[in-house]
Chain A
Amino acid sequence: MMKPIKDFINRLNGTTNLDETLIVKKSNRYFFLNTNLKKLIQRNFFYAGTYLGKIKNGKFFPSFRLLKILAETEANRIIVDKRTEWLFVCGRDVFKRGMVKVLGSLKKDDYTLILNKHGECLGFGRLVRDIGDKNGGVVVQNISDIGDFLRRER
């Protein structure tokens, strides 16, 4: 059950100590429960505890809650400036000039979390070039950002 989640975490060079016995799957969605919820939950639930993400077309799509958990670990992280924060939340990619700090080993094709100056996770993306690359242009391609909460409501 954990494999898709573990594979995703590995691509971020992250770690997690989520207790696998507390993870439940409902259709294509994964949820993490606490021991209290685990005792109470019934088979026909719709949503429970902490939503971790879903599988769609064989691919794992993490929830923003899982990204927040990973942002508190040693996963790849890039802190961006205020302007880039808003652009990223609007679905845009990250340019080198908007990056304030890079944490972790970041090579082309790695996944990285994008954080604002408060250390809050805004989403994640894929590096389209090595961090050390001297050329300008896009460094992180936006894969998912919290602006999605608004886009889902349309």
Chain B
Amino acid sequence: MFGKKFFVNRYEEFGWRFEETKPRQAIRINMINGKEADTVKRLQSLGIKLEKVPFLKSGYWVNKARFSIGATTEYLLGLYSIQEAAAQIPATLFTKLKNKTVLDACAAPGGKTIQLADLMRNTGAIIALDIKRQRLAALMNHLERCHVSNVIVYHLDARLASQLNMKFDGILLDVPCSGNFATDKVWFKRRTLEDIEKNAGIQREMLAEATKILKDDGEIVYSTCSLEPEEDELNIDWATETLNLEIEKIDCRGEKGLVRVFERKLDNAIENCRRIWPSETQGFFVCKLKKRVNR
């Protein structure tokens, strides 16, 4: 099953009317490398028109730039990163990060790893994994450019993370997913339900592995840029039933997670997940999980 009509009908069934959208370009100021106001002022002096993203602490829309914002001295000095606005949400959802040990399970090309390091002010430790060796080169470049000093990178599949024999205070599971049409012009031609189900299976394996290596009071932030419930609400419903995880309330942009999917009623706590339909941002899904405490 595939094709634009098939997927658009699904979105309408979930209460969202399909419209073609193009996410706005966004940047995130790296606080470890300079003061936000100074960096913004410098970029404005180059003729770059910025607008604060209302739902982010250090994110800005780029309204106008006469040249590539990835080719300024300020970018090369690590004063900011180019990062889509919705993708800036997950790292901000951890309760406390300074001096913690955090796993970024699918880290490359590194946008969220840099953001975590920034939020941690280069304290504690981030263990960053990725399965694709060639993508690690991009991650290394970003770490060097942004002067990050608290990361150890391993070439490792997130589904084998327990091989590290470590326990984590926080785990960012920004899992590989099917993506969405807002960032991929040929998405409807390329994707089938079979792809989506295959990805959902891999994501469940990652959730299960992450649960094994999470400290008892630790937090998992799970995110995808997929709009398909198999990779989002259905996976989280499965995780709460199977892995003894519970969903934490989060305060961020987005609509409540779907509690009724394909005639199936899910756990009411799924409402605490956030689903972002494409508009100014790409499509996105995010939630926070903790181990269930037996009372």
Contacts and interface: CB of A to CB of B under 8 A. Distances in A.
Contact of B153 (A34, A47, A63, A65): A47
Given A40-B127, A47-B140, A150 B151 contact: no
A116 B72 CA distance: 13
Interface residues of A, number: 31
A48 B145 contact: no
B32 interface: no
B149 A49 contact: yes
A63 B155 CA distance: 21
Interface residues of B, number: 28
A51 B152 CA distance: 11
Q: Give the interface centre of A32, A47, A68, A89 by most chain B CB atoms within 10 Å.
A: A47
A103 interface: no
A85 B136 CA distance: 30
Contact of B144 (A46, A63, A150): A63
Interface in A31-71: 32, 34, 36-37, 40-42, 44-51, 63-65, 68
Contacts of A41: 152
Contacts, number: 77
Nearest to B77: A120
A87 to B, nearest CB: 11
B150 A37 contact: yes
B145 A149 contact: yes
Contact of A147 (B76, B141, B153): B76
Contacts of B151: 47-49
A37 to B, nearest CB: 6
Interface string B120-135: 0000110100000000
Contacts of A146: 73, 76-77, 145
Contacts of A89: 73, 76
Contacts of A149: 76, 141, 144-145
A48 B144 CA distance: 10
B155 to A, nearest CB: 5
B77 A40 contact: no
A149 B140 CA distance: 10
B147 interface: yes
A49 B127 CA distance: 11
B77 A42 contact: no
The 6 tightest CB contacts between A and B, nearest first, are A47-B153, A146-B76, A46-B153, A50-B149, A48-B152, A47-B140
Interface of A: 32, 34, 36-37, 40-42, 44-51, 63-65, 68, 85-86, 89, 116, 120, 122, 146-147, 149-150, 152-153
9 contacts: A36-B124, A45-B153, A46-B140, A48-B151, A86-B73, A89-B73, A147-B76, A150-B70, A153-B141
Interface of B: 70-71, 73, 76-77, 101, 124-125, 127, 136-141, 143-145, 147, 149-155, 164, 166
